[in-house]
Structure 1
């Protein structure tokens, strides 16, 4: 006797009464619409593992009931999106970006500040803050006196992410000392303090950073323009049309001559490519008008 074929609506190891392929497809559609994140079929079990605690906490019992809930409750939808974002990051990741910032861009920014011109920076998709604090240490530099003067001038850093738990950790500005090992020692020594095995970011750094919840796929309540933007290893979760729209929006809020730093596996493509010149590995400069 030949066994009956398995239902195409089942996911191995999970009762279809609780979570099915149809549920996954609906969730993938919702997440794409809300945040531009693409969830291929291979992510079905990841979705189950990350959302099951939310389903239980909401008392929904089944994923289909939970899908009804997130269709009606914006706060619950935000929890769902946050649960499905990846927050893997580390200090001084893709070190060539920070070396370029220190050696090529920082002198120009110092000159702007000396002439009382504002300097604005955006860490877009900042996750738990390791990127942001790496940026700020690189900006302020190894000389504490000079760095303090920079921090007291018109220098501001926006750090945004879609996940509240990531923002909370970033704002705490406290990490295991070992996590900072990739950061040059001259910067760690000046801008962090060790407390019981943790490294705490200096107050001078914290006062220039503003952490905000922000969905890159949604509206940006942003005024003015940025001297440079870091958005790394975020666009890998988007499809090409979404990536191209995002890059165009970045171009629109960058100063002429401003820089966009992206992840090692990402590229600037589409109409906005004409707005940028590649000046280093995954480092793009906006063309002057």
Structure 2
């Protein structure tokens, strides 16, 4: 594909003759190395539209100079990757995962907490927090009194993403009230405070969640193992070797018997297949043995 722009495609402040196939190829290479994201040639115009504002803000004028900065400035690279990441999500997406969590896993986790044990859950690639809060409400349950008791126990939810703006949105825990409609009414009543057209996640739910910046391809400064991990609609952007390495790492981060929830169009392949059993639609359980 010829990525050279027509004048009508140009963004003000960025000349249309300073972005071509070689620039796209370099950006694609850098982004794959940094975050495992695969950018096929058909995404050339998307790359231009997402990065041109950053090029302009940097004052570097040309993509070539901006690409040089990406190779030497980690902060700018993180901004570029975040700009290229699609943060499309919504509450209670793929509802069967939350239903499984409540019906199959939650009773065990509640017993663990009431017996003085600890429970750890990870929302990996949490985007702007809709998945994380859906998980958290499902864990705390429909009874606010019981949920408050669980929150006072050793229960923590880790929410990570590589996009700073997404992590900040998740921390804010404030959404349009209409966006919470997919959540079952009993959970909304217990854990959502509506103020007109705005909805805020209840303080009790917020108290057990920790939002952090994390690149899944980098080091994981995480101690201990998880009872379940959600990583949904993230691996669709990766090539197969990257997916297989990531799922293997997730396996190693799960307790035996723990669950991995992935996106509806994603599948487990590679060495991790020897450690995971398919127990529901895109729901895998780590072998106990």
Q: TM-score range by the shorter chain?
A: over 0.9
Q: How many residues align?
A: 283
Distance 2:209 2:110 in 1: 17
User: Among 3, 6, 10, which residue is 2:4 paired with?
Assistant: 10
Give the deviation of 1:11 after TM superposition.
4.4
What does residue range 108-123 of structure 1 map to in structure 2 within 5 Å?
Answer: 108-123=108-123
TM value normalised by structure 2:
0.96
**8 Å CA contact retained: 1:36, 1:217:** yes
Corresponding residue for 1:4? none
Corresponding residue for 2:33? 33
Flag structure 2 segments of 5+ consecutive residues without an equivalent: none
Distance 1:86 1:152 in 2: 35
Corresponding residue for 1:219? 219
Give the deviation of 1:9 after TM superposition.
6.2
**8 Å CA contact retained: 1:160, 1:211:** yes
Distance 2:113 2:236 in 1: 34
Give the deviation of 1:60 after TM superposition.
1.0
**Where in structure 1 do 4 or more consecutive aligned residues deviate above 6 Å?**
none
CA 1:9–1:211: 2 relative to 1, 3 Å: closer
Please report the RMSD computed on the Cα atoms of aligned residues, expressed in angstroms: 1.2
Give the deviation of 1:69 after TM superposition.
1.0
Distance 2:96 2:262 in 1: 12
**8 Å CA contact retained: 1:162, 1:214:** yes
Corresponding residue for 2:167? 167
Distance 2:191 2:18 in 1: 50
- Alpha-carbon displacement from aligned partner over 1:131-183 (angstroms, at most 9, x marks no partner): 00000000001001100000000000000000000001100000001001100
Say whether residues 1:187 and 2:187 are aligned partners.
yes
Give the deviation of 1:27 after TM superposition.
0.1
What does residue range 89-238 of structure 1 map to in structure 2 within 5 Å?
Answer: 89-238=89-238
Distance 1:69 1:141 in 2: 48
TM value normalised by structure 1:
0.96
Distance 1:53 1:233 in 2: 26
Give the deviation of 1:71 after TM superposition.
1.1
**8 Å CA contact retained: 1:17, 1:62:** no
